[in-house]
Amino acid sequence: MTNEVIERLPPHLHQYIKPQNYAHYSAIDQAVWRYVMQKNMAFLSTYAHPTYINGLAKVGISKDQIPNMYGMNRILKDIGWAAVAVDGFIPPRAFMEFQAYNVLVIASEMRQLKHIEYTPAPDIIHEAAGHAPLLADPEYASFLRRFGEIGAKAISSPHNKKLYHAIRELSILKELPGSSKIELERAEAAVHDLQKQKVEASEMDQLRNLHWWSVEYGLIGNPKDFLLYGAGLLSSIGESKWCMSKQVKKLPFTQEVIHQNFDITQPQPQLFVTPNFAHLSKILEKVANSMGLRKGGKKSVDKLVASEEVGTVELSTGLQISGTFKRCIPHPLEHSKAAYIQTIGLTALSFRNQELVGHGTSYHSDGFGSPLGKLKDSNLPIEDMTPSDLEAFGLIEGQTTSLCFESGVVVKGKVITGMRSIFGKIMLISFANCTVTFQNEILFQPSWGKFDMAIGASIRSAYAGPADLQYFPFEKNRLCATPEISFPPENVYYQALEVQRSSPEKATCSLEDLGKEILQFEAEHWLLIVEFYTLCMKKKNVEWTTKAKNRLKEIKQQNASLAACIKDGLTLIKH
């Protein structure tokens, strides 16, 4: 697919993209798409944000057939966006990163007929018809992109990772024909058990909630007069009608939504209403102000340590340290400050998101540690010292010196060289034959090689992911693939109806012959009978129209759970 936006994606995101094999969509899938889209458009033309209906055409989506990603991308590039197919749920950070690059990720699978009203699994109805149309609104599209930029930096927790994999497994089983009741119950129990655990909310938890109550289930207007814009509502027949009832509380959209959790397997008991899309951006920025990305400090490094994932600490000099943070020693007198930070494994040093030459992961392969803060008996941070100040503390190339920090960390060694930023600030000093101690603990010793000391009086930012995405080794995608689903036997009847509808001269059997078999199908195949009924009406075949209608009436009487779907299908045909 030719779209310059996709070509700008960093290499590590390409591993999640998979080709959309359009031939894998069955005739049943196409029928489900038509039914859902026709029903949604009939309802949403009144209750959705005005951009939705107009936006469908603007992003290349038709109610008549499942969208082809190639066609969507030809159209999306005109508004500066792109779409890629992925395999079900992808990791939240990767999802956010795609969005930051103006790329909409679309799970290309289609929901089963039995989940026609709602599915907890991502599918092409939700991803394409739910998310894409609102991209036609510049203010909303800008909010999405900004959300991606901030969300990609949100610090996670090990609990987040476990919950993500549990939800992914459940979503796969929910949409996999033949999944046993025992498998589903086990997967649902795993999700519920993790959701019930009392753990401190991570930054990713908070942004996930913000995303859910806006991008997925958001309303716009005011609590008494609102329209739908969240993709979960725009793509779910059941949820979009349910949310209109008084049983669902409508509350103002504020920063407090980050504390409101949700259950993806249940209809939402409350929804939040934003007055406009600009308000979403305002709340997002408020949340970002509370994150390590902007607050920095020792507490943010502690979050990175707890996450057990690659993150970046940016110091007051602009030096960026990227790696898996293992330890953050607090200042003994000022506990809100860090005395020493330490990573393990692959680490890289960068400045302005570009890796410093000679300081990549091949050099810092066993981790990196450094003291922070001011030197004892100095009013100036090292980065602000003049040449005479540096000389006073023995920071002269080729001289052996002993540096005592206010925190009590002591660095003894021979100065080899230093590195300044483009603004003239010293941000790195290297020592030979160096020993670093804190109280009675040795933090670095000469046998470990050269000691590179990061310079920074304070930590101004701490966030998830490496600073330089181009060079830092990325984690390989180890997600199990969504199993391929073979076409069920009834698919041939859907195909036969499609031939009768679009190319009757190529039909190999008559409408009457099809009717004799289709009307014998069990109630669970109600959509096939609706499709047959629609075709009979179109062809003005009174006899088989009557027979099909009677069969549908019989199913409605015997199966209360299907009555509403059939009624809605017949209403759509009538209008």
Q: What is the phi/psi pair of residue 509, to 5°?
A: -145, 155
For residues 365 and 261, state if they share a domain: no
| Contact assessment for residue 35 and residue 120, using Cβ atoms and an 8 Å cutoff | no
In terms of domains, do 51 and 153 share one? yes
Nearest CA to 207 out of 271, 141, 260, 128 is that of: 260
Task: Judge whether 146 lies within some domain.
Answer: yes
Backbone angles phi, psi at 508, to 5 degrees: -100, -10
Tokens of 500: 């009768």
516 belongs to a structural domain: yes
Residue 435 lies in a domain: yes
State which H helix or E strand residue 536 sits in: helix 526-538
pLDDT, position 551: 96
> Which of 464, 482, 515 finishes a domain?
464
385 vs 440: CA distance, rounded Å = 29
Q: Let me know whether 354 and 424 are in one domain.
A: yes
- Between the two ends of the chain, the Cα-to-Cα distance in Å is 37
What backbone torsions phi and psi does residue 21 show, to the nearest 5 degrees? -85, 95
94: its two tokens: 């990767």
So what's the pLDDT on residue 474? 82
Q: Name the residue range of residue 498's domain.
A: 491-574
Looking at the structure, tell me whether residues 443 and 506 fall in a common domain: no
* Residue 512 · residue 544 · CB < 8 Å: yes
- State whether 95 and 226 are in the same domain: yes
Q: Is residue 520 part of a domain?
A: yes
Please tell me whether residues 279 and 332 are part of one structural domain.
no
> In tens digits, what is the pLDDT along the chain, a chain of 575 residues?
467 889 899 989 999 999 898 989 999 999 999 999 998 888 899 999 999 999 998 998 999 999 999 889 989 988 999 999 998 888 999 999 999 999 999 988 888 888 888 777 788 999 999 999 999 999 999 999 999 999 999 999 999 999 888 888 888 887 777 788 899 889 989 988 988 888 889 999 999 999 999 999 999 999 999 999 999 999 887 788 889 999 999 999 999 999 999 887 778 899 999 999 999 999 999 999 999 999 999 999 999 999 999 999 999 999 999 999 999 999 999 989 999 999 999 999 999 999 999 999 999 999 999 999 999 989 899 999 999 999 999 999 999 999 999 999 999 999 999 999 999 899 999 999 999 999 999 999 999 999 999 999 999 999 999 999 989 988 776 666 666 667 889 999 999 999 998 998 998 889 999 999 999 999 999 999 999 999 999 999 999 999 999 999 999 999 998 998 999 888 887 76
- The answer to whether residue 192 is domain-embedded is no
Decide: residue 86, CB within 10 A, 0-12 exposed, 13-18 middle, 19+ buried.
buried
Same domain, 145 and 245: yes
| Helices 181-196, 158-174: crossing angle, 10 deg rounding | 150
Residues 109, 31 share a domain: yes
Could you report the per-residue pLDDT of 277-303, keeping only the tens digit for each?
Answer: 999 999 999 999 999 999 999 999 999
Residue 305 and residue 310: Cα distance in Å, rounded? 9
Nearest to 207 by CA among 162, 155, 133: 155
- Judge if 393 and 510 occupy the same domain: no
pLDDT at res. 478? 64
Q: What is the structure's pLDDT at 477? A: 67
CATH number at 260 reads 1.10.800.10
* 103 inside domain: yes
102 in the same domain as 248:
yes
In this structure, is residue 485 part of a structural domain? no
- Shared-domain flag, residues 274 and 326: no
For residue 3, the tally of other CB atoms under 10 A from its CB is 22
Where among 464, 481, 504 does a domain terminate? 464
Element (H, E) at 208: helix 203-211
Is 533 domain-assigned? Answer: yes
The number of folded domains in the chain is 3
Could you tell me if 445 and 506 lie in one domain? no
CA-atom Rg of the chain in angstroms? 29
